[in-house]
Amino acid sequence: MQHALIHRAGLDVTEPEPSTQAWRMNVTPQRALDLFSDGVHLFVVDDAGTTAWDIASRAKFSRFPGFSARSLNLARNTLVAFSDFAISELRLPSCGVNP
């Protein structure tokens, strides 16, 4: 399990002991709404959209502007967002995300 710390300079994701190595992400702390993972990718949600990161390489590989996801549906390979009037799905690209 990973832990996330939000501070003035951005977002740090740290692994539990014995590793204490931090993963620095350029995310505005006031806008970080949610974090979730499929075990291979980390999805960071802010009010501007969702960013997808590869956990192994710690590289950002995709951005979904305007789509602030609230869950990941592995069976359908989609990100899911909720609003007052709709439930929206965004199909993830087949290249690298939940093949």
Question: Would you place residue 89 in the very low, low, confident or very high pLDDT band (cuts 50, 70, 90)?
Answer: very high
Average pLDDT, the chain: 75
Q: How far apart are CA 37 and CA 80, in angstroms?
A: 13
Give the model's pLDDT for residue 79. Answer: 92
The answer as to whether 52 is a domain residue is yes
The answer as to whether 97 is a domain residue is no
Query: pTM here?
Result: 0.70
Q: Domain count of the chain?
A: 1
Give the model's pLDDT for residue 86. Answer: 92
Residue 66 contacts residue 57 (beta carbons within 8 Å): no
Q: Return the minimum-mean-pLDDT range out of 56-60, 66-70, 82-86.
A: 56-60
The answer as to whether 81 is a domain residue is yes
Range of the domain at 22: 3-91
Please give the biggest Cα pair distance in the chain.
45
Residue 70 contacts residue 84 (beta carbons within 8 Å): no
Give the model's pLDDT for residue 6. Answer: 46
